[in-house]
Amino acid sequence: AKRAGRNCYMFFSESMNKAASIQLETENNLKIALQNDEFTIFYQPKVSYKSKQITQAEALIRWNHPKKGLIPPNIFIPIAEKSDLIIDIGKWVRDQVLQQLTIWQEKNFPPIKVSVNVSGKEFIKREVLQHLLDIFMKYQIAPHWLELEITEDTLIQSIKDNNTDYEIIRGMDVGLAIDDFGTGYCSLGYLKDYPFETLKIDKSFINNVTKNEKDASIVKTIIAMAHSLNMSVVAEGVETQEQRDFLVANKCDLIQGYFYCKPQPVDKFEEFVHNFSQQ
Ligand code: C2E
Ligand code: CA
Ligand code: CA
Ligand code: CA
C-alpha cells in the first residue's frame, strides 16, 4: 500500500511538473512574442441599428506565430493571466488601439469608437487607470473614442476591493461596458450604482433567441432594463438575419457578429467600413 501511495504521489507530482513546465514555456514564448511584435489586433464592427452605420468596433488580439500562424486569444490569454504578462499585453493592446485611432483621425477615416477587453487581473492590480492617463498624454485622441469591456466578475471584485478606478476612468470620459452580461453574478442592482453606459448581452442568449421563448424574453428584458437605466445595448455573436431582425425589432442599439463581419485585420476592416457606408 505504501508503495502504491508513493507511486501515486510520484505520478501526481510528475504531471504537475509537466503542467508547470508547459505554463513556463508558454509564458516565455509570450514574452518573446511581445518583444518580437508578434501580436496583432483584429477589429470587428458593431452596427448601429438607428443609423445603419458602423459606429463602433471591438479590438480583439491574435498571436501571429511565425511557425503556427494565427493563434486565437482563448489559447494564450488564460496563460498570460496567470502571470503578470497580461498587464503588458493589456498595455500593448490599448497603445496599439490609440495609435490606430490616431492614424484614422489623420486620414479622415469615419469616426469609430473602439472597445478593448480588460482582464480582471489588470483591473484588480490597478494597472489600468495610470496607463490610460499615460496613453492619453501620448496620443491626441479624445477619451470618448475608447471603451473598456469589463466582465461582471471583474466589476464585482472591484466593488469588494473598494476599487473606484472605474469611476475616475468614466470621469475621464472613457466608455465602460459590461461584457458577457448574463453569464456572471452581476445583480441588476449594481447597474444603477455604477457608471457603465453599455451592456453587452452574451452570445449564449443570442444563439437561440429566435427559437427559444425564454431566451427571447430574457433578451427583451435586458434591453428594456438597460434602456430604462440609460444604458445602450450591444448584442454579440449575431450570426443570422433572423437574430438581427429580432434584435432590431427590440431596439438593441448595436449588433456585432459574423452576420455582418468576422474580426478582420485593419486593412480588411477599413475596406469593409468603406463598402458598408456606400450601401
Ligand atoms: P469576448 O470578449 O466575448 O469576444 C467575443 C468573441 O466572440 C471573439 O472571439 C469574437 O471573434 C467572437 N465572435 C464575434 N462574433 C461572433 C459570431 O457571430 N459567432 C461566433 N461564434 N463568435 C463570434 P475571439 O476574438 O477569439 O476572443 C475570445 C476572447 O478572448 C474574448 O471574448 C475575450 O474574452 C478575449 N480577448 C480577446 N482579445 C483580448 C484582449 O486584447 N485582451 C484580453 N484580456 N482578452 C481578450
Ligand atoms: Ca469583449
Ligand atoms: Ca463578450
Ligand atoms: Ca462572450
Distance (Å) from CA 202 to ligand 3 centroid: 6
- Give yes or no for a contact between 11 and 220, defined as CB atoms under 8 angstroms apart: no
Alpha-carbon distance of 135 to 61, in angstroms, equals 19
Query: Pocket of ligand 1, candidates 60, 100, 208: which has the most ligand atoms within 8 Å of its Cβ, to mutate?
Result: 60
The cell numbers describing 179, all together, are 461584457
- Give yes or no for a contact between 243 and 214, defined as CB atoms under 8 angstroms apart: no
Residues 6+ apart with CB under 8 A from 38: 32, 63, 64, 65, 66
DSSP for 167-197 reads: HHHHHTT-EEEEEEETSS---HHHHHHS---
- Give yes or no for a contact between 154 and 123, defined as CB atoms under 8 angstroms apart: yes
DSSP for 206-250 reads: HTTTTT-HHHHHHHHHHHHHHHHTT-EEEE----SHHHHHHHHHT
Question: What integer pLDDT is reported at residue 7 of this predicted model?
Answer: 55
- Identify any residues that bridge with 61 across adjacent strands, giving them in sequence order: 41
- Give yes or no for a contact between 46 and 54, defined as CB atoms under 8 angstroms apart: yes
Q: What is the pLDDT along the chain (279 residues), one digit of tens a residue?
A: 445 555 555 556 677 677 777 777 888 899 999 999 999 999 999 999 989 999 999 999 999 999 999 999 999 999 999 989 999 999 999 999 999 999 999 999 999 999 999 999 999 899 999 999 999 999 999 999 999 999 988 888 888 899 989 999 999 999 999 999 988 776 677 788 888 999 999 999 999 999 999 999 999 999 999 999 999 999 999 999 999 999 999 999 999 999 999 999 999 999 999 999 877
Question: What integer pLDDT is reported at residue 1 of this predicted model?
Answer: 42
The cell numbers describing 199, all together, are 451592456
Provide the terminal-to-terminal Cα distance of the chain, rounded to the nearest Å. Answer: 75
Distance (Å) from CA 230 to ligand 1 centroid: 26
As a three-state string, the secondary structure of 58-97 is EEEEEEEECCCEEECHHHHHHHHHHCCHHHHHHHHHHHHH
Alpha-carbon distance of 238 to 243, in angstroms, equals 6
Distance (Å) from CA 36 to ligand 3 centroid: 28
Ligand of minimum distance to the alpha carbon of 43: 1
State the number of CA atoms in the 13 A half-sphere of 264 facing the CB. Answer: 18
- Give yes or no for a contact between 97 and 105, defined as CB atoms under 8 angstroms apart: no
The cell numbers describing 258, all together, are 459574423
ipTM score of complex: 0.98
Residues 6+ apart with CB under 8 A from 36: none
Distance (Å) from CA 233 to ligand 2 centroid: 13
Ligand 1 atom with least separation from CA of 73: 30
Q: Is the pTM of this model over 0.90?
A: yes
Distance (Å) from CA 17 to ligand 3 centroid: 33
The response to whether residue 253 sits with its C-beta less than 6 Å from ligand 1 reads: no
Ligand 1 atom with least separation from CA of 238: 18
